[in-house]
Copies of this chain bind each other. A is one copy, B any other.
Amino acid sequence: MNFRLTIQYDGTDFHGWQAQDGQRTVQGELERALSLIEGRAVVVHGAGRTDAGVHAEAQVASARLSREIAPEKLCAAINGNVARDLRVVEVRHAPEDFHARYSARGKTYRYRVFNERIMSPFWARYAHHEIRPLDLSAMREAAALFVGEHDWTAFSSAQVEVQSRVRNLTRLDITDRQSVRGRGRLIEITISAGGFLRYMVRSIAGTLLANGRGEMDTQAVSRAIETRDRSLVAATAPARGLALVQVHYE
């Protein structure tokens, strides 16, 4: 029996998605809960291996169990065995060949920035705090440069070995609104791509923020993309601002 799980988590108190000995991780917690139900070790595959501190509003995972369980029952059984900062919000039967990561056609991440002099306690866990004013029209102009197929060497971790650093970025929107609860300006950078490299979204967000602060003009951003030179890219934005918001399937 193959199952598809939709999951939300507040990443603040997790060492990321991927199971690691002695660390509290999302995959680790889900595998522990499912193994209790199954009576033996269960492997859970996630669509996106989010880093420590990164949130998920609709992560997707797949897992195989040896027997049939009603999806609602399985959902309740997992939630009964994990803390409230992690919730399985939906369980469905999945085709035998469904794999949360390999079947995914793309993902959407959102990077949130609270742009006020003083940080709201209600956004402290979920947004990056930027004190300096941001020029959104400049940022939108720069954002257009990122869309399309590029080699993202400059905007990804050098530590990770991958065959190719070419990815197709299909959407990059920047919106701002007044947060009622936070009493301030909340900027949201939404990025969709067929695939992402490690730190890619946070690196793009960091460069867009440098551009918005006036530290890096459109030309400098363009040069960083074209030359693939990591030294031309601004600092990676902090994990807490990032959330996986959607996984796209056919």
Task: Report A's interface with B, CB cutoff 8 A.
Answer: 8-10, 55, 57-58, 75, 79, 84-89, 118-122, 124, 126, 181-183, 243
Contacts and interface: CB of A to CB of B under 8 A. Distances in A.
Contact of A120 (B75, B89, B122, B181): B89
3 tightest Cβ-Cβ pairs between the two chains A and B: A10-B121, A85-B121, A84-B124
Given A84-B124, A124-B84, A183 B89 contact: yes
Nearest to A179: B57
A58 B9 contact: no
Q: How many copies does the complex hold?
A: 2
Given A8-B182, A84-B121, A87-B120, 7 more contacts: A8-B122, A10-B121, A55-B122, A57-B181, A87-B118, A87-B121, A126-B181
Contacts of A118: 75, 79, 87-89
A80 to B, nearest CB: 11
B57 A183 contact: yes
